Amino acid sequence: MCSVSSIKGVGIGFPEQKSFHSKGNYSLFGFNFLRFRRCERHAEKKFSSTVVRAAIAKPEIDFSDPYWKNKFKEDFENRFDLPHLRDVFDIKPMPTTFSLHNRGSQIVSGADLPEDRKNGYVNDDDRALLKVIKYSSPTSAGAECIDADCSWVEQWVHRAGPRKQIYFEPEKVNAGIVTCGGLCPGLNDVIRQIVFTLELYGVKKIIGIPFGYRGFFDQGLPEIPLSRNVVQNINLAGGSLLGVSRGGANVSEIVDSIQARGIDMLFILGGNGTHAGANAIHNECHKRKMKVSVVCVPKTIDNDILLMDKTFGFDTSVEEAQRAINSAYIEAHSAYHGIGLVKLMGRSSGFIAMHASLSSGQIDVCLIPEVPFKLDGPYGVLQHLEHLIETKGSAVVCVAEGAGQDMLEKSNATDASGNVVLGDIGVHIQQRIKRHFKEVGVPADVKYIDPTYMIRACRPNASDAILCTVLGQNAVHGAFAGYSGITVGICNTHYVYLPIPEVIASPRTVDPNSRMWHRCLTSTGQPDFM
Ligand SMILES: Nc1ncnc2c1ncn2[C@@H]1O[C@H](COP(=O)(O)OP(=O)(O)O)[C@@H](O)[C@H]1O
Ligand SMILES: O=P(O)(O)OC[C@H]1O[C@](O)(COP(=O)(O)O)[C@@H](O)[C@@H]1O
Ligand SMILES: [Mg+2]
């Protein structure tokens, strides 16, 4: 039995938390050194929409212990151990039907492969290194240290890919796919690859659940049968073939619906909220002794999922944002004392704004949620804009939607998923700029562009399309390998499986001490606005 009382859980609040806790003058991984088992780790999760409470205890490491590194590694291995159907069921694997040797319609099972084609499978013990930089000191840029000396400790995570042995008979599999949250370029590409790969294993029954978690219990929403024919061209359009939605996640009702439909492999595409729901679904299925594999594919243009290089759709959004930035730049440069202002998405993370600013090379001021700023005063944004108008004759500002929320009136309103409804920082800054220049008697021509929905409704660019392909295929391999409660990701260019709680303990945010933020500041030339 899992005992909750044995764990001291620390609430990890959305969205303010950083991915790493700060302790003393060096940053310390938020790792749990209590060695509780996986079921315990999940037990204390309370799923409210805006707060995910992960049972992550504050690390108490005895650095005087000569074996602390070994203990750390052992603990890390335990935490990143992947939940498996074997943990709950007495099941035996069978040789895979996923062929590395495809001859047209003839499927060659893994067992019958010729010798020279048998080394294409990933072993359960294969690992990828999660952290690849050895920081020599806690003061190194972006340093993520465990101890005061920033000692090097290997952290390995599980490699994704097809296994030689599988835990489902493909002919009997009943697979479901659902897309939740907001839109993101590449959703259709992932759906398409999941369907293709399932069919390659030999799966005959694949359904799409319409409009996110809502589709599980809204009787008026029929499920969508999926096959290679149905999904063949869906990657040519943005959006999701299945539709998306926020809110309405009642885990017990969803699992009732999974049970009633006989789904035994569920692929869930979504962001941190969706992952929290997916983990709850995974736990509930296991509690009810349902042999269901729940596998997520992280979807968020905000790029706010922990541990991975990036999420699909992010690159595309950054690229799409260029068009808005370029328009703002042209407007600003063509006007007398022109000021262009672009608001980009990013609820609690400024990745899109930072990357779009950097790549465009046209931004003078980039404002993100992670870095506080003032509009007024000698070091404020407005004063700097005055300086830019005086010296350059124009200026372009890029602001992430979650930035500067402290200067807006709080409404306490939430959306259907429980996400805080943000004040419109773009409109606020636009008004403040206009007012300021009027007050100081300097003419300024302010043009405000809000392309937020345009940057996520498009189809993915080539590199995102490839990422979607690999993630979608790996999601299916993970389910056949018998894992559940996992998500797929790319870490240091390698594809991996990660336990869901580890990637949503807090939203991933821009580290103001990172090289990337410093590069952004170097590029914009902006001062500190505090
Ligand atoms: N903590 C949670 N537990 C269970 N379900 C959740 C949780 N947070 C959000 N959800 C559900 O997940 C879905 C998507 O969440 P949302 O926050 O809108 O998007 P995203 O997954 O992109 O962050 C919604 O249906 C929402 O009700
Ligand atoms: O208007 P909507 O659909 O709520 O979407 C707005 C939100 O979508 C996002 O782009 C992405 O959020 P999700 O990852 O939760 O889908 C946020 O940056 C933004 O606040
Ligand atoms: Mg979210």
Q: How far is CA 98 from CA 161, 162, 191, in A?
A: 11, 8, 18
pLDDT digits (tens, 9 = 90+) for 46-101: 233 322 223 334 457 899 999 999 999 999 999 999 999 999 999 999 999 998 77
Q: How far is the CA of 382 from the centre of ligand 2 (A)?
A: 28
pLDDT digits (tens, 9 = 90+) for 356-369: 999 999 999 999 99
Low-confidence ranges of the chain (pLDDT < 70): 1-59, 102-119
Buried b (16+ CB within 10 A) or exposed e, 135-144: beebeeeebb
- What's the confidence (pLDDT) of residue 25? 29
Q: Is the C-beta atom of 213 inside 6 A of ligand 1?
A: yes
Q: Is the C-beta atom of 489 inside 6 A of ligand 2?
A: no
Amino acid at 237: A
Question: How far, in Å, CA of 300 to CA of 349, rounded?
Answer: 11
Question: How far, in Å, CA of 359 to CA of 407, rounded?
Answer: 28
Task: Establish whether 125 is a catalytic residue.
Answer: no
Q: State yes or no: ipTM above 0.90.
A: yes
Q: Is the C-beta atom of 147 inside 6 A of ligand 2?
A: no
- What's the confidence (pLDDT) of residue 119? 67
Q: How far is the CA of 298 from the centre of ligand 2 (A)?
A: 14
345 among the known binding-site residues? yes
415 among the known binding-site residues? no
CATH of 165-310+460-491, one of 3.40.50.720, 3.40.50.450, 3.40.20.10, 3.30.70.20: 3.40.50.450
Q: Hey, which bits of 69-223 come out as E strands?
A: 94-95, 127-129, 156-159, 165-166, 174-179, 205-209
Buried b (16+ CB within 10 A) or exposed e, 474-505: bbbbbbbbbbbbbbbbbbeebbbbbbbbbbbb
Topology match between the domains 165-310+460-491 and 314-458+513-524? yes
Question: How far, in Å, CA of 475 to CA of 296, rounded?
Answer: 7
Domain extent listing, the chain = 165-310+460-491, 314-458+513-524
Q: Is the C-beta atom of 501 inside 6 A of ligand 1?
A: no
In angstroms and rounded to an integer, the radius of gyration of the C-alpha atoms of the chain is 24
Fold (topology level) of 314-458+513-524: Rossmann fold (3.40.50)
